[in-house]
Amino acid sequence: MPVEPLSQQDVEERLRELPGWTTDGVLLRRSYRLPGHFPAVALVVHIARIQEELGHHSDLTLGYDTVTIAVNTHSVGGKVTGLDVELARRIEAIAPGHGAR
């Protein structure tokens, strides 16, 4: 099934279920603070595993104790799709296990 861009209204509705996630109309974004560098790296590795499972990849930025995710779908002109929302949901589900807040 082809991936279709979501309307801005659909994106905003879906983000209500994803606290801390925002959109600028082009990307979904979220930053997490972690208890140190090693937990931040572990979260990045865990996110990379999920991205490989989905076949969909975000831009990840690793700081000393932070991880920032920015994602959209390039194949539909850099718009937000359900695939981006699914990735955000999966990340949101595993982040607390790494001590992310």
Q: Two tokens at 79?
A: 């718009």
Give the Cα separation of 51 and 69 in Å (integer). Answer: 12
Strand partners, 68: 31, 61
Per-residue pLDDT of the chain (101 residues; tens, 9 = 90+): 579 999 999 999 999 999 999 999 899 999 999 999 999 999 999 999 999 999 999 999 999 999 999 999 999 999 999 999 999 999 999 999 999 99
Q: Which amino acid is at 12?
A: E
Tokens of 15: 């983000």
pTM of the model: 0.96
